[in-house]
Structure 1
C-alpha cells in the first residue's frame, strides 16, 4: 500500500503540541525550547516528514524557482555557466527551470511565457543571437520579476547584465597578427542587435588605427551566425580582388564553419583566425585558430546569479530602495595557439 505523506498536523498530534509549535521548531525558531525542538525533529525524522514546498511558497508568495534560458546547453560555455548559477541558486534554496532557445526568437518568447506561468521569481537569460522579443521580457519587469542578461546581451542601457569586455584581448591578438606580418585583417561580425557585435567592431577599428592601418569596409562583413550566413561571409572575403590574410570571427563556431569551407577547397592555411569562446576541445583539433578569446563563462554565471539574488532581496525588503541597473563587464583573455602561425608564413 502507498504510504500517506506525513504532515505537520500529524506530528503535532503525536507530540500533543500545536501545529505552530511544530512549524517553528522545524525552522529552529528561538522562541521554542531546545528540548521541544529536538523532540519535534526526532519525530519528524522517524515519520519521514518532507516539507510541503508548495505551501511554503504560497505563504511566502515566492516559488523559490528561477528561470534560465540559453541558446544551447550542448555548448560547453553554457554548461560551465549553468554549474556556477546552480551553485548560487542551491545556496539560496532555489530550484532552476531551464530552457533552450536554439537562437530562435519565437522559441525564446514561448519559454519566457512558460516561465512566467510557472511564477518564477527571477530570470537569467542569454538572448537568442538572431533576435529577441523584448516585449515579452518587459512583461516580466511589469510583473516585478527581475531579469539578468549574461554573455549575449541586448544593446540597451536599461537592463541588468554581465558580459565580457573584449577590447583588451582583441587588441592583444591583433598586435600579434600585425607583428607576424598581417596588415590585411578582416572581421566577420555578428547580428547588429547584440552589444557584443558593436564591441567587436569598435575594438577592431581601434586595433587598425593604433597601427596606422587604413580601414577597408570591404574587409568588414556580417553573419546571422547560421552556417549558411557564416559560409556566405567567408566567401565574400575569399573572392575579394585583394583578400585578407587574417580574419577575426564572431566566435569559435563561426571559425569551425569557415575551416570546413576552406578544407573543402584545400585552402585550410589561407587565413589566420582569431575567434571568441576558447572551446575546451581545441587540443583535439589539428587546425586551430591563431588565438581564441576566453570569456570565463563560470564567472559570468556566478555574477549573474548573485545579481539576480540581490534584485530579488531588494524587491522584498521594504527598507531598501529599488535596485538600479546592475551592469558589469568582466575582463576577457586571449589564448594563443602559437603552433598555428609563424611570422615567415604570413602572406603579405
Structure 2
C-alpha cells in the first residue's frame, strides 16, 4: 500500500511550513490567495485526505463510541445497533461493538478494557448474570459518558433510555383479560434483570384491575434458554388448573413455550394463547404466532442513546443533567381472537 499523503509532504514540495498548508486547506484568509490555490491544487492532485484521527485529537475526542450488549443475534439488539450506527455515522462517529453473551465476567472484562481504551462514550445493556455494578460505576467515575439502555440496573446515576415495560405488561395482560382469558400465566425473565421486575409489576397491576386471581403458581421465571423455558411451560401445563393464556418475557420465550404446548397436544390460539414482547418480524410468517406483542422501539432506543452522547459531548460536562428517556410501548395485535 502507498503511504498516505500528509500535510508535511505537501509542505515539503511547496517549500512552505506545515502550519501554512493546514491553514490553506481550511481556506484561512491569513494565507495569501496564490498560496492557498497552490496548496489546494497540489492536495487534489496527490489525493490528500485529512486525517480524522488527527482532527479528533485536536478536538480532544476519539470519534469512537463503544456499545456493549448481550447478544447481537437477538433481533431487538440488532435493531438497537441499526439506530446507533445510523445516527453515529451521520455525525462522523464510528461504533465499536462488544458482546457480553450475558456473562457477568465478560462484561466486567469489556468495561475494564474500555477504561484503558480511549472512547468518547459507552452504551451498555447489562448481562443477565450481572448483580453488582461496580465496573459500570468505575467508567462513570472516570468521566466517561455512559448511557444504559433497555436492561437498566437500579441505583446508578447516569444517562438512561428504555421503554416502559411495566406499562407494556399491564396493557398486554389487560388486553388478554378483555378477550375473556381468566387464568393468565407469566413466563418472566431472570430476577436480576430490572426488565423482569417491570413486567411482573405490570402483570400484577393488570390482574388486580381486572379482578383476576393472583397466583404464585401461575408465575415462572426462566433463564431465557429454550430448555428452561420448555421445562417451566411444561410445569404450568401439568398443574391441576393450567393457564388459558401466557404473557411471555419476549417472543423467543413465547416460541419456545409454544413447543412445549404442542408436545402436550395443545393447539396454539385455540387451547392456549400467548402475548409477548419484542414484536419480532419473523412471527408475521408463522401460522400460529402470539396473539400480540409489545413493541419496544429498539431502533429509536439506539438513536436516543447516541443523541444523549452527542448532547453530553457538545456541552462538555458529563456530570450535570443526566438524561432519562422512557419510550411508550405499543401493543401490536397480530391475531384477533
- Using the size of structure 1 for normalisation, the TM-score is 0.88
Give the alignment of 1:152-167 within 5 angstroms: 152-167=151-166
Give the CA deviation at 1:125.
1.4
Q: Secondary structure at the match of 2:160?
A: strand
Structure 1 ranges of 4+ moved more than 6 A: none
CA-CA distance at 1:304 after TM superposition: 0.6
Q: Are 1:211 and 2:233 counterparts?
A: no
Classify 1:180/1:118 alpha carbon distance in 2 versus 1 (closer, same or farther; 3 Å).
same
| 1:178-201, Cα deviation, whole Å (9 max, x unpaired) | 222211111111122222112111
State the Cα RMSD in Å: 2.2
Residue correspondence of structure 1 range 183-198 to structure 2 within 5 A: 183-198=182-197
Unmatched tracts of structure 1, length 5 or more: 342-348
Report deviation, 1:38.
Answer: 4.5
C-alpha separation in 1, matches of 2:264 and 2:34: 79
- From the superposition, tell whether residues 310 and 284 of structure 1 become closer, same or farther in structure 2 (CA, over 3 Å): same
Q: State the match for 2:326 in structure 1.
A: 329
8 A contact 1:109–1:132 mirrored in 2: no
CA positional deviation for 1:301: 0.5
Q: 1:75-90 to 2 correspondence within 5 Å?
A: 75-90=74-89
Q: How many residues align?
A: 335
More divergent stretch after superposition (65-74 vs 170-179)? 170-179
Say if 1:155 and 1:193, in contact at 8 Å, map to a contact too: no
Aligned mates of 2:295, 2:34 — CA distance in 1: 55
Provide the residue aligned with 2:335 in structure 1: 338
1:226-305 correspondence to structure 2 within 5 Å: 226-269=225-268, 270-305=271-306
| Counterparts in 2 of 1:323 and 1:38: CA distance versus 1, 3 Å | farther
Structure 1 stretch displaced more, 112-121 or 281-290? 112-121
Structure 1 residues 264 and 58: alpha-carbon distance in aligned structure 2, compared to 1, 3 A threshold: same
In structure 2, what is the Cα distance between the partners aligned to 1:143 and 1:29? 37
The structural deviation recorded for 1:45 is: 2.1
Instruction: Report deviation, 1:332.
Output: 1.0
Q: Which residue of 2 aligns with 1:346?
A: none
Answer yes or no: is the 8 Å Cα contact 2:7–2:21 preserved in 1: yes
Which residue pairs with 2:134 in the alignment?
A: 135
The whole-number CA distance in structure 2 between the counterparts of 1:332 and 1:35 is: 61
CA distance in 2, matches of 1:82, 1:59: 28
Q: Is the 8 A contact 1:259 1:268 kept in 2?
A: no
TM value normalised by structure 2: 0.91
